[in-house]
Structure 1
Amino acid sequence: MGIAPILSKYLNLNLSENLLENKVKEFFAYLDPEIDLLIPTYLGNDQRRFYGRGTPDNFQVLDKFKLGTGITYVGKTRKVWSGAGWTGQPTVTKDRGKTYLVIGGYDYILRKIDAANNQEVWQYKFDDVIKGSSTVYIDETANEENRIVILQGSRTGRPKKGIAPSFRAISFRTGKEIWQLDIRKTRSYSRDNDSSPLLLENNLIFNAGENAIGYFINSSVSKAKIKSSILQPEVLSEIKLYVDSDAKRQGGNIVSESSPARLGNRIFLAAGSGHIYGIDIESKKIVWDFYTGSDLDGTVAISKSGKLFCAIEKQFIPGNGGVVKLNPNQKNQESVEWFLPTGNIKFNTWLGGIIGSVALNDEYNNYGEFPALFATNAIDGYLYIGSQDLTTGNKVKGPLKKFSYDTPLIVFKQKIGPSISTPIFTDGNKLVTAGYNGVYIFNLNWEFAKPDEGNVLPNAQGEFFRLIVEEAGKFTGKVSFESTPIVWDGIIRICGRDGWLYSFG
């Protein structure tokens, strides 16, 4: 006898056996879905503040996967790059009982890897190196073969007949190409695509190209049509992510590299033109604009309290780069809650500020048991951990040196060397971070404290704590890291610039 009639008799349900059988199947599918998008995009979710699950109990190299090497051109300069770099964070997806990683590398290859044994399932080759992270979504309108879709960008390569298809959709299950989007020429000097798009409701995708155009795209792969001799998705609307004066001031360097984040009915995007834009999803128009004046590379992270944490590079501005916390319900300078300036130092082509993003501990702080923290790495070589909410009482000059702002309480600051990677919080009150000097893991230990003691923070219930940070492990091995790590089932994965994807645990 099947489970449906047994349940019907036991629970005295007046349902047909077929109907109950379907209900039982739906119930068990809910408990153990065929498809589970575990880490489906850069920084994990729509608010860009989820980094995986599991507590890393050890910190030793468990395995390495060879990513390889590729040639690319920055302007007219030939570059040889290995492994994966900024942002270079794998996605994690469960399908039909197995868990897989998807990662793009500097060898032009997008790979699907079985997470259980680090074995490659398939590979797909782009026209140039892959820098950004993928976004994985479910297309309910597609056939089984194309039901799970990977969206991935790359550098441009050498456009053929003026076409730069540097943003593509790939079938997760087969590794076959579904469509390509031509990132058209604009006043931006780039036609790359580093951004990780967002899936919205009503079959909408939002993607930002490095041509400083925001694209609203139909997520249904069946709507793709031949355009300019390639199969392209249906573009429903476009938004220009700069104003003409930005292009005059910065030349072609109005490149949009960050990923969009979502708060309610608005998308927030840090644009290379110096603006942090709020875009209304329904009208598909810019409705909010905070101007920083600097190039912006880092992705906006949005806290549970609905505040924006934005990284600012030191470029085109008289003041320092750093982190600005914004209230998106206010406008212009009234939206600034605090600003953290970081040091000015020339490293590589950068002059200071932050290239990566800001990490928040919101997803690892159940019910606000502990104080709300942020963390970030800076070009000045420091890892900063601070309070999301408390300020010091001191004032600091902003990036444009026109206004003075409150500055946050920093509870931990340690020299780890210059970094463009984004740190991550994990289960078990740990933090993983990386940079050009290696990978570090820290224990975040909380001690009860009195409100009148120094350097203490309140939690959501008004209890006070002191944070004690302990370095729990370090990996150097003469390997530099630009990418952002993930953790899944307690295993840390991060791509190095030496050509390998590392697993630590």
Structure 2
Amino acid sequence: YGYNMKSKKNDWEFYIGTDMNGSAPATDDGCLLIPIEKQYMPGPGGVMKINPSKPKNERVVWFYPTKNKKWYHWEGGIIGSVSCNDSYVDDTENHFAVFLDVTGELTVVDHQSIEKKKMVLGPDSLTKYPTPKLIAKVQIPGTISTPIMVKDKIIACTDDGIFLYQLFQTKKNKYNLELIDKVSGLEIDATPIVWDGKVYIAVRDGYMYCFGSK
């Protein structure tokens, strides 16, 4: 729903048809990045970028499907939210979105670029949509947490600790995710925050941890 705070009414609605547990961040091109769970749908979960200003049948900009693989009681898709780097880049730089599915596939896409001549099935397993340009992905442990992006660094929390990656550009429009640090043995469902060069995260053992230089 797009709720108008002034009129106290919905300006728009868009039906997807399955669970959505995460938040939908707004991009600087006026769109929303929607995390979608696999449950209750014949097709895959994943991330859908929509433009609310468009008519309903033109609203989906792209869809990125995740694996249909069960993790605990989740059938697949994304339980957390999507992060993007729009606040760190200008119009001459790439606009990346990063997300983690429940099986632990950490994925970076260019949310303003579409793969040419490629269409994918949506959550209803009937409708085909464009899909964004894949930048990089890596497999880590499963999670329902949201990864965060701070410039070229990505912090991802899982059932087996915290992973710190750096997104390296190897050549024009080619990138790699390189693991530069890891803290193992912490079961984490929450989403981390970064403040003043330090990472803060609540853990299932009942403690809040702070990582970084003293």
Smaller-chain TM-score bracket: over 0.9
Q: Distance in 2 between matches of 1:436 and 1:339?
A: 27
Map of 1:487 onto structure 2:
194
Identity fraction in percent: 37
Amino acid at match of 2:210: S
- Unaligned runs of 5+ residues in structure 2 are none
Residue 444 (str. 1) matches residue 129 (str. 2): no
Deviation at 1:333, TM superposition (A): 2.9
TM-score, normalization by structure 2: 0.93
Whole-angstrom CA distance in 2 between matches of 1:287 and 1:363? 26
TM-superposed CA distance for 1:338, in Å, is 0.6
The whole-number CA distance in structure 1 between the counterparts of 2:146 and 2:137 is 15
Residue in 2 that maps onto 1:497: 204
1:286 equivalent in structure 2: 10
Write the letter of the residue equivalent to 1:381: G
Indicate the SS of the match to 2:23. Answer: coil
Query: Is 2:45 the counterpart of 1:337?
Result: no
Q: In structure 2, how many angstroms separate the alpha carbons of the residues matched to 1:357 and 1:304?
A: 17
Q: Compared with structure 1, are the counterparts of its residues 343 and 408 closer, same or farther at alpha carbon in structure 2 (3 Å cutoff)?
A: same
Counterpart residue type for residue 313 of structure 1: E
**Does the 8 A contact of 1:421 with 1:433 survive in 2?**
yes
Inter-CA distance 445–370: structure 2 relative to 1 (3 Å threshold) = farther
What does the per-residue CA deviation read over 1:458-482, in whole Å, with 9 as the maximum and x for residues that have no partner?
xxxxxxxx32321111111x22111
AA of the residue aligned to 2:156: T
2:46–2:64: 8 Å Cα contact kept in structure 1?
yes
Q: Is the 8 Å Cα contact of residues 145 and 158 (structure 2) preserved in structure 1?
A: yes
Residue in 2 aligned with 1:421? 145
Whether contact under 8 Å (1:364, 1:425) holds in the other structure is no
Name the amino acid aligned to 1:342.
Answer: T
- The reply on whether 1:385 has 2:108 as its aligned counterpart is yes
2:73 aligns with one of 337, 346, 349: 349
State the Cα deviation string for residues 342-374 of structure 1 (Å, max 9, x = none). Answer: 011222221111000000011122x24531000
Q: Distance in 2 between matches of 1:495 and 1:485?
A: 8
Quote the residue 1:376 is aligned against: 99
Q: Which runs of 4+ in 1 moved over 4 A?
A: none
Which structure's CA Rg is the greater one? Answer: 1
Displacement of 1:287 in angstroms is 2.1
Equivalent residue in structure 2 for 1:468, among 165, 176, 193: 176
Q: Deviations over 1:79-107 (max 9, x none)?
A: xxxxxxxxxxxxxxxxxxxxxxxxxxxxx
What is the CA–CA distance in structure 1 between the aligned matches of 2:92 and 2:196, rounded to whole Å? Answer: 23
Q: Does 1:362 align with 2:70?
A: no
CA deviation map 1:140-173 (0-9, x unaligned): xxxxxxxxxxxxxxxxxxxxxxxxxxxxxxxxxx
CA 1:469–1:370: 2 relative to 1, 3 Å: farther
Q: Is the 8 A contact 2:103 2:142 kept in 1?
A: yes
Q: Higher helix proportion, which one?
A: 1
Shift of 1:447: 4.9
Aligned residue type for 2:196: D
